[in-house]
Chain A
């Protein structure tokens, strides 16, 4: 086979693959173009999760008729002239690929009128074929309509996720940019339904209030700090407001939404010791640094960047956030802010420090024992060693220690039982059994109204029937507003809105879990809330009942979230530790 230069169409389709991965990429490229064009108002309309139509209209500079054809050519841009410019980029785009890429995988109609012209012009690009320019009447600015996305790339079309997921991604993108650019008026419609609408007043808190509820927006702590030309500003949640996953942590670097595990870790480190394990803050941070400090030309979609001096930046983020938190949160002890040390491999792979701690604890207990080394890495290994059903030993209760653990004697040594995990398991199995004849739910005297972010609202919308079967009666009450009419009887006593939020946090973690699996996960969540906590003193009868309940469980060794309910210390190990055995 001879080597040939690829035809233009093929080349641009390949390039498009990098830039335009899914509908949200199109929205991103178009919105960024609008921002670069100096628009004051950006109207976004998406139909059928972007498969059918994505339309972005702005009132920016516009494109002159003579340049319109050039604009859709590859590597054509107004934002960059020479290589050196790459290191001092102030605009969001610069690669000159977006319009060409989008045009090659869709039917794209550009209508634009530049400020200096009285007449607008329109150009249609279909699958990379550039049509004829024709004059039209248009308002100043640019309207780009993208239809039939990926019509000529069936492979890509096939790999799109469900509409729900794609819509969620678009929601997440638009809302984040609305906060980052408070002076722009954003209007956002999905399938003809008006979603987000901002006033462009410049008040970020007001927009935060549209996304989360107003009271949370009021509580968000504002931070603004400057370290050696690095400006870190934004909003962080007080330690009382948390989420169950990292999805509410957002970073903007020089006006661009980026994802960076190391930055995440630096931020969470700032909250260290103030949040419960597994809880994450709600954060919007805007980091401004000089363009030569950051390389954004790493990835075509620019969602990843490289920093010149990551250590200094992470330290700045940590200091700024910590200072903001300490100023508003009563924290008994204050130690000097640690200088961030260069991240090692663990951070980059996204594993949390807790996992390391947990492992080292496991080692403490098992050192000198004859357990296989695999236990150190896999928390499940212990329970997999032995078959689950038959393995529960007959236990004699000795007592409770630290108001958190039960101590019991078994036939082969000492057992320590985590009262919370154990109770969770007992409640979980009971509720799973009850599910067969329906979960009891308690109607509320006064329905609780909660406001959700668009992403959360969409997820909740989809899951209403599942929630109902679990005892949550929730109904839509307005845009992103929901009314909780009844809660499962098992969570009576907890704040209904809070209980629902916990459940929604679960939806976010998984994209489309099976219904049955989701139910199990929700039940696990509910049980977690209802179970006795560490720190609760239990009467002897209660302790006995808990052990008995655990004996009756089908999988007594772990809590529904996979943590062990009990640790076994064998007599053999005790004997070794006391130097009675094996000290040869």
Chain B
């Protein structure tokens, strides 16, 4: 293999695929990145067997070939090379990749590309097309609510359902639920219901630049995988097997109090409360309208800790319905308010022991359910 490629493109390509590298795997080749010529371009791939990322970069190919080199070493090197052309030449017998740029000359020891797990070219036929900006926002609004605990693997994933021209993503971690839906530009040929690891979705959001206008999502039959194809890159992930809980049941069908608050004010109050919320429990109390000295159009957010002190913030709000005191994990509140983009947000509550629902005002595509907390005795 003999190729020459621009340093900036190579560095960018490596940074894209590096997140799929598994440096501590028992399979040494998984710590490597595959470098291969592919139809006039250079292909970079990395996989940890659960998720694989491939990207194609423009290169001048003098001789076809492929090898794998340690991702960390190669990446560190390329990042420090001077800009301009980088020449790479493989000594096939020793699997050593010679990298030359300006005055620098490096030999990197690699592993034969044959040992790299095969990454078959998927069939994108029947895939659905998504708008990148929509997709990134959906992931942003949903992925944080997925569980990081492996006790229930399905909850570490995002449930993606497609019916007709509607795509919905949902995630839950046992205490909160995030649901976001969007319109597809053209209806999907058949309904889809899969659980995709939240980690892979986060990576997808990272590698999908806004320059890519659409992303194609395909489910190659019989492989238990999902493939996202961008213009210059591709992400493949194993699906999570199992039954996702029926989340629609969890969404309360009605409410008795609806509180509309300015998102920014609410978020700021939550951030302050979080500083003082009792360590480890993050409990914050919301006193919604009418109780005691509060005026009916106000919400008081308060938190206290024996060690650090206490904090109360009063936020103006539009409260419809009964007044109520309810406690939440303030971290959950802060995290959802962080991803709400409308100026106002509605909090729907029924009772101190019933779930609270957050909806951006004037945007029906997103909703978030948070289970309340309470103090014993």
Residues of A within 8 A of B (CB): 427, 430, 433-434, 437-446, 468-471, 486, 489-490, 492-496, 498, 530
Known A-B contacts: A443-B353, A489-B281, A493-B149. Give 4 more (CB < 8 A).
A438-B377, A441-B376, A443-B355, A444-B371
Asked whether, in the complex, the Cβ of A445 is within 8 Å of the Cβ of B369, the reply is: yes
B294 interface residue per 8 A CB criterion: no
Q: Residues on B close to A: CB < 8 A?
A: 149, 151-152, 172-177, 245, 250, 278-283, 306, 327, 329, 353, 355, 369, 371-377
Nearest residue in B to A448 (C-beta to C-beta)?
A: B174
A471–B278 Cα distance when bound, in Å, is 15
Rounded to whole angstroms, the CA-CA distance of A109 and B113 in the bound complex is: 84
Interface class of chain A by DSSP = mixed
B85 smallest CB distance to A (angstroms): 42
20 residue pairs of the A-B complex, CB under 8 angstroms, read: A433-B306, A434-B278, A437-B375, A438-B375, A439-B375, A439-B376, A440-B283, A440-B373, A440-B375, A441-B373, A441-B375, A443-B175, A443-B371, A443-B374, A444-B175, A470-B376, A490-B280, A490-B281, A496-B174, A530-B280
Give, as a whole number of angstroms, the nearest-CB distance from B117 to chain A.
21
A468 CA to B376 CA in the complex, in Å?
7
Chain A min CB distance to B367 (Å): 14
Residues of B with C-beta under 8 A to A490: 280-281
Instruction: Point out the residue from B149, B151, B172, B278 that lies within 8 Å of A445, measured CB to CB.
Output: B172
Chain B residues, CB < 8 A from A430:
279-280
A440 near B245 with CB under 8 A, answer: no
Q: A437-B375, A439-B376, A441-B374 are in contact. Are A446 and B151 (CB under 8 A)?
A: no
A442 touches B371 (CB 8 A): yes
Complex: A469 Cα to B375 Cα, angstroms? 9
Chain A nearest CB from B347 CB (Å) reads 16
Q: Point out the residues of chain B lying under 8 angstroms from A437, CB to CB.
A: 375, 377
Pairwise interchain contact A444-B174, C-beta atoms closer than 8 A = yes
- CB proximity of A477 to chain B, nearest CB, Å: 16
> Provided the pairs A445-B250, A446-B245, A471-B376 are in contact, do residues A440 and B281 lie with their beta carbons within 8 angstroms?
yes
Contact B283 A489 (CB under 8 A): yes
In the complex the two chains form, is A494's CB within 8 Å of B149's CB? yes
- Chain A residue numbers with a CB within 8 Å of B355 are 443, 445
Beta-carbon contact of A492 and B377 below 8 Å: no
Q: Are B149 and A495 in touch, CB under 8 angstroms?
A: yes
Enumerate the 6 nearest inter-chain pairs by beta-carbon distance, A residue then B residue, closest first. A438-B375, A489-B281, A495-B151, A443-B371, A438-B376, A438-B377
Q: Please report the C-alpha to C-alpha distance between residue A495 and residue B173 in the assembled complex, in whole angstroms.
A: 11
Structural contact, A446 and B280, CB atoms closer than 8 A: no
Residues of A within 8 A of B306 (CB): 433-434
Closest chain A residue to B306 by CB distance?
Answer: A433
A445 touches B280 (CB 8 A): no
Instruction: State A496–B151 Cα separation when bound (angstroms).
Output: 10
In the complex the two chains form, what is the Cα distance from A442 to B306 in whole Å?
A: 20
Given contacts A489-B283, A498-B151, contact A442 B377 (CB under 8 A): no
Interchain CB contact (< 8 A) of B280 among A441, A471, A489? A489
B109 CB to closest chain A CB (Å) equals 29
Please give, as numbers and ranges, the residues of chain B lying within 8 Å of A438 by CB-CB distance.
375-377
In whole angstroms, how far apart are the Cα atoms of A470 and B172 in the complex? 25
The distance from the CB of B355 to the nearest CB of chain A, in whole angstroms, is 8
Residues of B within 8 A of A446 (CB): 172, 174, 245, 250
Kindly state the separation between the CA atoms of A465 and B44 in the bound complex, as whole angstroms: 60
- Nearest B residue to A469 via CB reads B376
Whether A445 pairs with B376 at a CB distance below 8 angstroms is no
Chain A's closest residue to B277 (CB) is A440
Which residues of the partner chain A approach B374 to less than 8 Å between Cβ atoms? Answer: 440-441, 443, 486
Kindly report which residue of chain B lies nearest to residue A471, judged by CB atoms: B376
Do residues B371 and A440 form an inter-chain contact, with CB atoms below 8 A?
A: no
**Are the CB atoms of A489 and B373 closer together than 8 Å?**
yes
Q: Could you tell me the distance between the alpha carbons of A217 and B201 in the complex, rounded to whole angstroms?
A: 36
Q: How far is the CA of A188 from the CA of B369 in the complex (A)?
A: 44
- Cβ of A495: which chain B residues have Cβ within 8 Å of it? 149, 151-152
